[in-house]
Structure 1
Amino acid sequence: MLDMLETLGGDCSISAISAQLGVSTRTVYRYASQLQMVGYDIRIEGGDVRSGSELPPVSGAESRGGPAYHIESSEPAMRRLAILSLLTGGPATLGRIVSYLADPVRALAADERTIRRDLEHLESAGYVEAPGERNTGYCLSGAFMPRFSLTFSELISVVRALESAPEAVADPRTIASIRSKLFAAMAPCVDQAHAMRRRRYTKGRARRSDPAMLARVEALEVASLESRVVQLKYTEKRKGRWSAREVEPLGLVYYWFHDMWYLVATCCTAHEIRHFRVDRIAGIAVTNKRFQYPSEFDLSDYVSGMWGVYAGEPTRVRVRFFDEMNVLARLRAEIADRPSACLTQVDTGVWELVDTVAGLSEFRVWLRSFGSSALVIEPESLRMQLIESAMRMRDMYNTGDHDKGDHDKSDCNMDDVEHSNGGDINADGR
């Protein structure tokens, strides 16, 4: 990196250094930080690495058309940098450090007394801790612990494991905190971390998912991150056969109430956003065709207004819940991810939920799961639908015909919801 800066006059883009050295941009940031620690005037401005160490031009450089710029490479500084690099892999004894520096590849050999002075310098600066009761060798101090190194695909795998095994962490807020810290550890690669936040969204409580399902989710998520068009072999529920779809993947949504993953994508044929159940995707082919990810699209904003995974007309709802059989605890857990939800106590053991829901069909199914513990105040249309449903259920029990009862399929079986039910739109394959 120092050679590149010298050649280019002390100013080079991070991406160019990354490409030339074959390392990640995060590694370039780490190199710059380590050079600063051993005395180089290296700084990062925007997307560039700059050096302020201007020295007289190298003899003959101008006459050869080379840059009139030079970066001093003091041998002690290079040795100390190499020592820090070695210690990032764990503690090392003095003998190990001496042999590491003496390697012909580095050409930084020095006598043991000189290397001791280097270590004392790093120790006085607070970068290194000497051997003691806890350490059998020299090690990096707590003030200079490097960020743990994860590739981007490894980060995806860690987050995937975290979300698919919630029983390992009881508190959902703890899961969210760990996830945020994983992304923070990717800094300064904030663009990738931000991109991944936008490509996956969990509605409600995550449950353990099948490994094969998660493999499909990860493949689709990576395709979205790389802005690649995907060809799907998709099984249609009603027709019982599969069809070929070409889509531009925008992100994936897990909905706890269905215990399902959904792909949110722009259909290349219909030119509109559709939802595809991941368990019905029989085949995935990631093409080399690229698409422009819409800059105005944000997955969390898109999904947060829906009660589940179906879009529809935004409707204000007001429902009273009676705290029977731990209803309140369940209610709080299941609306925790809804920023528009407002839950207030209106009487002893009575709570009122006010929210704006984009599409009522899934909200209606959810309400019915509370039985008589939920009472709709508004809208009147939803109130009447639930009254009619309750009357049909009463009639079904009164007739005693347990085999041919008039089931309320629109509420009980979400697999049979049409795109037009309840005004819901843009749902494909439910």
Structure 2
Amino acid sequence: MPFSLYLLGLAVFAQGTSEFMLSGLGPAIAADLAVSLPAAGALTSAFALGMIVGAPLAAILSLRWSRRRALLLFLLCFLFAHVVGALTTGYWLLLAMRILGALANAGFLAVALITATDLVAPDAKGRATATLLGGVTIACIAGVPAGALLGQLWGWRSAFWAVAIISVPAVVGILHAVPTGAVETRRPSARRELRALRRPRLAVTLLLAALVNGATFCTFTYLAPVITEIAGLGAAWVPAMLALFGFGSFIGVASAGHIADTRPIPLLGWGGLALCVGWVGFAVTAGHPVAATVLVLITATLSFAVGSTLISQMLYAATEAPNLAGALATAAFNVGAALGPWLGGLAIGAGFGYRSPLWISAALVASALVVGGTAWATGRRDAVPPPDGEMSPSMR
């Protein structure tokens, strides 16, 4: 893989740390800013919503920019949002900075996904996607637990400062190593590219990605109280469990990279079924520390294996939307990132306890299996040639 692809992964590492680190900082933010835990969890949903809106808008805005210019501007905006977030003492300003940072992150990731796939062979999109998303998984392994540890030692603001500092070498690296790339010489038709959403394969893949990632974020956002309140482990275990989740995510993305290019359907089918069983098992056994520890690893591995495969399949399916392909993948991923914490917060706020996000994760993956299975069966049925002497509907 090209060296510049790993530099993009470094920036994604900083952004992934920011997006996920509130799973370990939520209680501290809630206490410091005098808000409820679901309100602190809403900061994750707000970030995801900002990425959903920002991905297509930023992709269209940056079409006439060079790739390097777009990446640098988005990353600098992201850095600024975290400096302000670290300095603020008010919840609403922090919320605004999370949205601003999300808009910048969305633009960066949308451009980075297309840049990454352009740097490799046409049949290596899965491996390029896995390499780029490796920055996210390393964020889960190292960045998020480190953020939780910093939050325990020096307060949650120190984690925001750390993200800003990590972004600086990424800016320098992109400036010197990422190719400028071509600039659009004609104004592209956003309407034409958005019509690609009408393609059944792409629309179904977008929905599946939202459901699977919604399940991941639903539990991950509230993993800290699950570990401390349900499993009965001390607060000192939270960074270790977050690191374990991150290690599982790394295994999932790394192992799925090549399979996503060659055998995506078996991976999605069997992997999705195993993931659903894993979430149910986690919900049932969350009160047992050993079982909870094992299932943190298993569900993380399966979640990111299935999720990264769905993202690469979107890039393969969006051939009619070359400029918006990365934006569509980013938006779908973050629809789930917004949906999951919101549903988990509703369940906790309604009094169903900290175990409820696990059941919601299982339900979301089960819904994905139903949708995906129905689409697959329908596609196979439509592909079967009609009996002799009978015309198919398309021939009439």
Q: For this structure pair, what is the TM-score category when the shorter chain's length is used for normalisation?
A: under 0.3
Which has a greater percent of strand? 1
Which has a greater percent of helix? 2
Higher relative contact order by CA 8 Å / sep ≥ 6: 1 or 2?
2
Using structure 1 for the length normalisation, give the TM-score: 0.22
